[in-house]
Chains A and B, each alone.
Chain A
Amino acid sequence: MSEKQIITPTLADIPDGHAGQGFFATSIEKAVGLARKNSLWPLPFATSCCGIEFMATMASTYDLARFGSERLSFSPRQSDLLMVMGTIAKKMGPVLREVYIQMAEPKWVIAVGACASSGGIFDTYSVLQGIDRVIPVDVYVPGCPPRPEQIIDGILKIQELVGNESLRRRNSQAYEDLMKQYNME
């Protein structure tokens, strides 16, 4: 075995603001974004092999907990990141949509793997050709299946979106239009 590595704990980057003796001031948007992005509660929707890679991502070697996402939620009502991993059959489409609708705002979606992103090799009558046909997707992770490093990279991209999202985005016209596109209120 190689010599012991010393891992220093990393802290989240301090947002722009004014610091002085005993105080730090920043905008509420940045503070909320900081809190949200470092404590995402993912809801795993794993249907096939990408789900196995996700299990590895959560386990000790890759340890998604390092990024603040150690608390998986198996209830859509208590999660803010829907992770769709695996082939979604057309018959599963309405189920996935229902799960998404049940999640409380703000919510994000990551499509892990070729199947969830585009249908993958299953270009056939029974498979949904990408989950973005039923729900809006924020980040796509390519791969068949993607390695845990890629899934972590996808989570980091989600964190970037979460941290920089305007507090008003979910009330905006653009967001309403997006939801309308998917026949959601």
Chain B
Amino acid sequence: MYPIDPVRNQLVVSKLSDQFRDAIITHEILADMLCIIVSKDAIADIMHFLRDDNELQCNFLTTLCGMHYPDRQQFGVVYHLHSLQNNHRIRVKTTVPEADPVLPTITTIWPSANWQERETYDFYGIQFEGHPNLVRILNVDDMVGFPLRKDFPLEDQTREDKDDSMFGR
């Protein structure tokens, strides 16, 4: 497992709290990694800060992906950052309402976010404002809907040979 570094985690939290105050909603240690939940309006500024700060130096975006919380009517996006200099990883999460799933792009901060934001759009329909080419990347171009949303039907709707009674429903 990834070793927990409490000093460095504390440094990240205190620096972000000083800089952004209300935008930092909460933070916790989840699966051995610091997880910071932030408000969506500040996400681009926070990412800029995490990359450019002399001490934090989160210069590598490991991954970016979507989440769906239907009971809260929210989508979420999780960003995993890695500071290669400090050998330290953090996780940043933010949520957007289902009705208006729009977030600023971070392709201007890490160009590697390009395809990952496209994938997130492809599967969850989250719009990344300012993305240079926000089109589907993995699914067929003419697909209707976003397949990893929880309300997307699990089974292919075009099959006629499946008799519900055979599946106990």
Nearest CB of B to A12, in Å: 38
Judge whether A126 and B158 touch: CB under 8 Å: no
- Of residues 112 through 134 on chain A, the ones whose CB sits less than 8 Å from some CB of chain B are 118-119, 123-127, 129
Nearest CB of B to A23, in Å: 53
Nearest CB of B to A125, in Å: 4
Judge whether B152 and A123 touch: CB under 8 Å: no
- Of residues 75 through 134 on chain B, the ones whose CB sits less than 8 Å from some CB of chain A are none
Judge whether A90 and B140 touch: CB under 8 Å: yes
Inter-chain CA distance A91–B159, complex, in Å, is 18
- Of residues 135 through 161 on chain B, the ones whose CB sits less than 8 Å from some CB of chain A are 138-140, 143, 147, 152, 154-156, 158-159, 161
User: Is B162 part of the binding interface, using a Cβ–Cβ cutoff of 8 Å?
Assistant: yes
| Chain B contact residues, majority secondary structure | loop
Interface size class of B (residues with CB under 8 A): 10 to 19
Judge whether B159 and A123 touch: CB under 8 Å: yes
Could you say which of A90, A93, A126, A129 contacts B159, with CB atoms under 8 Å apart? Answer: A129
Judge whether B156 and A118 touch: CB under 8 Å: no
Q: For A129, list chain B residues within 8 Å (CB).
A: 156, 158-159
| Chain A contact residues, majority secondary structure | loop
Q: For B154, list chain A residues within 8 Å (CB).
A: 124
Q: For B158, list chain A residues within 8 Å (CB).
A: 129
Nearest CB of B to A35, in Å: 38
Q: For B143, list chain A residues within 8 Å (CB).
A: 90, 125
Minimum CB distance partner of B146 in chain A: A125
Inter-chain CA distance A39–B132, complex, in Å, is 53
Judge whether B156 and A125 touch: CB under 8 Å: yes
Q: For B147, list chain A residues within 8 Å (CB).
A: 125-126
Q: For B138, list chain A residues within 8 Å (CB).
A: 91
Nearest CB of B to A75, in Å: 27
Judge whether B140 and A118 touch: CB under 8 Å: no
Q: For B152, list chain A residues within 8 Å (CB).
A: 125
Nearest CB of A to B166, in Å: 13
Judge whether A119 and B140 touch: CB under 8 Å: no
Inter-chain CA distance A155–B87, complex, in Å, is 57
Inter-chain CA distance A166–B165, complex, in Å, is 43
Inter-chain CA distance A159–B162, complex, in Å, is 32
- Of residues 96 through 147 on chain A, the ones whose CB sits less than 8 Å from some CB of chain B are 118-119, 123-127, 129
Interchain residue pairs with CB less than 8 A apart (11): A90-B139, A91-B140, A119-B156, A123-B155, A123-B156, A124-B154, A124-B155, A125-B143, A125-B152, A125-B156, A129-B158
Chain A positions near chain B (C-beta within 8 angstroms): 90-91, 93, 118-119, 123-127, 129
* Besides A90-B143, A91-B139, 15 new A-B residue pairs in contact (Cβ under 8 A), listed by A number: A90-B140, A91-B138, A118-B161, A123-B155, A124-B155, A124-B156, A125-B139, A125-B143, A125-B152, A125-B156, A126-B139, A126-B147, A127-B156, A129-B156, A129-B159
